[in-house]
Amino acid sequence: MKARAFWAIAPNVAEIREETLPDATPDQLLVRTLATGISRGTERLVLAGRVPEGQWDAMRAPLQDGNFPFPVKYGYAAVGRVEAGPAEKIGQRVFCLHPHQDLFLAPAAMCHPVPAGVPDRRAVLAANMETALNIVWDAAPLPGERILVIGAGVVGLLAAWLMARIPGTIVTVIDPDAGRRSVAEQLGARFADPEDSPDEQELILHASANPAGLRHALGHAAFEARILEASWFGDRAVSLPLGEAFHSRRLTIRSTQVGAVAPVMRHRRSYAERMALALSLLDSPVLDALAGPVVAFDDLPARIGEILGPPPPGQLAPLCPIITYDRITDAS
């Protein structure tokens, strides 16, 4: 059985390759892809060949083919319909951490049912929501806290949305792109330009992937504030002013990512339970503001530079570009 997959083959060069799928093993499902999502920050580093050699193993996507830097088949946000496997699975819509490919085999344990009320284009946000959920578990926000989110990308905005639902919190999102204001406000957060960023913030999430954002966090933190670092810097070194208020204010900088369930929930939720919760949280139509634009799979090699690069003057950078495969459904 033939399948077609998106491969990065050289710095900022990609192509679609045809491959023959092996025979399925008893624990695998055959999935016909409906949509995939692009994680712009991570996939930009992959396409540019900027994944540090020391992180090649840690950065492998669960079902990646090839090796860093090139050629590599990468991605982790696929929604599809099961075509072969156990009878009770046939026809089921599932989310899987699989690269961009029109037909694939995956372990049944990695294929998570998509709730009926979550459309395909929103379901591709599941990996981002899982990351945001883990960040919030790590951050442990309290009712009434002043919270600053630096960087209005998908993960930052999803985390802001989750934390803004906690009673009494005041969540402010800052980003140099003023066009993000409407999205942040739709998600229940305040928005500010970096120069108008509020001070005395008790919890700060840095998700801008820019070292200047982490330095900004240090300058706007309250006494004993917690700073959560959710950015992935690739091979860039980060310089921080730790000789200023860092010690006198007793600030804490803590890494957070999705490779392990946050300690507070580690013995209460499995990876599968965390993903199921992330998918269920995508039932809100307000999150449609994060998904798009839509790009046809066949057009992806020609448009990947445009999708991952800076936008033309006067235009917003996309949040989560959606790749479609023949058709995209509202829900089923």
Q: Which fold has domain 2-127+281-324?
A: Quinone Oxidoreductase; Chain A, domain 1 (3.90.180)
Query: What backbone phi and psi angles, to 5 degrees, belong to 78?
Result: -115, 135
pLDDT recorded at residue 192: 98
The neighbour count for residue 27, using CB atoms within 10 Å, is: 12
Q: Round to whole Å and give the CA distance between 146 and 297.
A: 42
Are residues 125 and 98 in contact, defined by beta-carbon separation less than 8 angstroms?
A: no
Structure tokens at 29: 């499902």
- The β-bridge partners of 229 are 206, 255
pLDDT recorded at residue 79: 98
Are residues 43 and 320 in contact, defined by beta-carbon separation less than 8 angstroms?
A: no
Length of the chain as a residue count: 332
CATH class of 128-264: alpha beta
pLDDT recorded at residue 259: 83
- For every one of its 332 residues, what pLDDT tens digit does the chain have, with 9 covering 90 and above? 999 999 999 999 999 999 999 999 999 999 999 999 999 988 999 999 999 899 899 899 999 999 999 999 999 999 999 999 999 999 999 999 999 999 999 999 999 999 999 999 999 999 999 999 999 999 999 999 999 999 999 999 999 999 999 999 999 999 999 999 999 999 999 999 999 999 999 999 999 999 999 999 999 999 999 999 999 887 778 999 998 889 999 999 999 988 888 999 999 999 999 999 999 999 999 999 999 999 999 999 999 999 999 888 888 889 999 999 985 444 43
Sign of the CA dihedral running 160, 129, 280, 93: positive
Place of tokens 């905005």: 157
Q: Round to whole Å and give the CA distance between 69 and 78.
A: 22
Q: Round to whole Å and give the CA distance between 216 and 210.
A: 10
Structure tokens at 220: 């706007």
The three-state (H, E, C) secondary structure of 286-297, written as one string: HHHHHEEEEEEH
DSSP 226-267: EEEE----TT------TTSHHHHTT-EEEE--SSS--GGGTT
pLDDT recorded at residue 92: 98
Q: Round to whole Å and give the CA distance between 215 and 99.
A: 34
Q: Is the pTM of this model over 0.85?
A: yes
Helices (H), 110-210: 120-123, 126-139, 154-164, 181-186
Are residues 82 and 94 in contact, defined by beta-carbon separation less than 8 angstroms?
A: yes
Place of tokens 């284009």: 121
Residue ranges per domain, the chain? 2-127+281-324, 128-264
pLDDT recorded at residue 255: 94
Sign of the CA dihedral running 38, 44, 49, 53: negative
Nearest to 322 by CA among 37, 19, 70: 37
Q: Round to whole Å and give the CA distance between 38 and 29.
A: 23
Q: Round to whole Å and give the CA distance between 104 and 43.
A: 20
Consecutive H or E run containing 20: strand 13-20
